[in-house]
Structure 1
Amino acid sequence: MTLASETESPEQAAAAPEPGRVRDPEFPYEVEMTLMEHLEELRSRLLASVIAVAICIIACFVPAPRSWPTIAREPATSSASSSSGKPTGWF
């Protein structure tokens, strides 16, 4: 008599669910988890999200001191806006 593990390929054995956990055929990559496993997964995803947001904030604020003079500078006046006298003439 042969065991199931003897007839399975290494890929099938690695993809087999843990004992006591049944896989749904519609969702082959989903595994049932306990509450603590869900909380650990949530914690790891939240930590990764916070790190990603921090990196993006740092990436935005590093060039900010050099770009503020360009952003805060008044637009160059053209002859059309100076003759109309309207402050929004350059739009």
Structure 2
Amino acid sequence: MPWFVVEQRYVPEKYADVRPRHREYLSTLAEQGVVALAGPLDGDTGGMALYQATDREHLQSIIDADPYYVEGAVAERTVRDFKPVLGSWLPASSE
């Protein structure tokens, strides 16, 4: 299943109020194995997450349902395909 890196830049005056709902949403996705890692970037100006989804369309539906996006706390969002080939978290057959 493909991996994606999503980076978001926050709307400064909105993100703090939405953060609890955003984290609850991502926690649910992490329990389902969709979010591998997620967290804020230095200075709380944005955040980054590593998702696994069936395809880009599936990913789009997931990130568009994020409370940060729904409630207007995302100023900018970048989505990039990611192919992990090395790392201690990967199964031996991931290459």
Q: Place the TM-score, normalised by the shorter chain, in its bin.
A: under 0.3
User: Which one has a larger percent strand, Structure 1 or Structure 2?
Assistant: 2
Higher relative contact order (CA 8 A, sep 6+): 2
User: Which one has a larger percent helix, Structure 1 or Structure 2?
Assistant: 1
- TM-score w.r.t. the length of structure 2 is 0.23
Larger gyration radius, structure 1 or structure 2: 1
